Amino acid sequence: MKNIKTILMAFVALWVVQGAVAQVRERTVVKTDSTKVITIVKKHTEFTPKHDIRAGVGTMSLVTSFALDNWGCADCTVRDFRSDMANAETHLTPRMFVGNYSLSYTYHDRRWLSYGGTAVFGASTRWRKDSITGEKIDNLSNYCLSIMPTVRFDWFYREKVQLYSTVSIGVVTDFDEAYPWGDLTLVGCSFGRKFFGFAEVGMGTAGWLRAGIGYRFNATKK
């Protein structure tokens, strides 16, 4: 069992290394048959820098829990009789987390390196409603916005499939106070050439799991 694990890990490591090396080497293929030698030199197309625009949505994370729900205590205000009486004829809707929505732009400068910026907007909604009329009388929703410079490292690059990790460091604000914070994509995968989808596992302001769509186009014409 231990051997299988080791072999499997070695295989994954080799695959990653191979992918990384493949990004930079030029590939030459020589084909022969029994009668004559045919030499085909196939050069890997050169990398063209690209603009990369993405929109995605992410799940809850620790940071958003802090900013949007105060660690589960967004509504833990000290209640007193007077405020209970003042709000007696109202009721609260559930506090709902409605997602982290991200928008990012990166400049894919080299095969392995992109840089740019990311903005993530997260929200939790809650309303106080009049118990008799059902009218919304108070908005108790919380919002947070983070703006972060981003660096993305592609550790497996193909035209259609890329595996990458991302580091972003910036600020998150709940529109009241701002805190320095960041976001880390541990493993991300994009699939598609110009128009693509992506899925990521990470931690930070964008959520534990993120997914979305994007569009990339060449920065310079050939």
Partner 1 sequence: MRKIFSMIMVALAALFVATSCELASGTDPNPNRANNLLWNRVYTAINLHFEHFLAVAYLNDTLLGKEVDNGGYEQTEVVVNGNIYTINYGSTYYARSYRIKTDGKRLDEGGEWTIYYRESIYEEYGKLGMATGIEGESSKFKLSIDNSVCASHYYAYSYAAESEMEYWYDDVQERRCVKYNTFKGTSSDTSGQKDYMISFEVVEPLVIRASIEEGKIDILYNDNVENTSRSLSVVIVNRSVTFVTTNGSNW
Q: Which residues bind partner 1 (CB under 8 A)?
A: 57-60, 68-69, 72, 74-75, 80-82, 84-86, 88-89, 91-100, 124, 126, 129, 131-132, 134, 195, 197, 207, 211-213
Token readout for 4 is 């299988």
* Closest distance to partner 1 from the beta carbon of 20 (Å): 30
* Closest distance to partner 1 from the beta carbon of 170 (Å): 21
* Closest distance to partner 1 from the beta carbon of 119 (Å): 17
* Residue whose CB is less far from partner 1, 3 or 77: 77
Burial status of residue 186 (CB atoms within 10 A of its CB: 0-12, 13-18, 19 or more): exposed
* Residue whose CB is less far from partner 1, 41 or 132: 132
* Residue whose CB is less far from partner 1, 155 or 215: 215
| 174 CB-side CA count, 13 A | 16
Question: At 112, which amino acid appears?
Answer: W
* Closest distance to partner 1 from the beta carbon of 21 (Å): 34
* Residue whose CB is less far from partner 1, 50 or 95: 95
* Residue whose CB is less far from partner 1, 99 or 170: 99
* Closest distance to partner 1 from the beta carbon of 182 (Å): 20
SS3 state of residue 87: coil
Question: Which helix (H) or strand (E) is 174 found in, with range?
Answer: none
Angle among Cα 61, 62, 63 to the nearest 5 degrees reads 90
Torsion angle of C-alpha atoms 23, 25, 26, 29, degrees rounded to 10:
-100
| 90 CB-side CA count, 13 A | 17
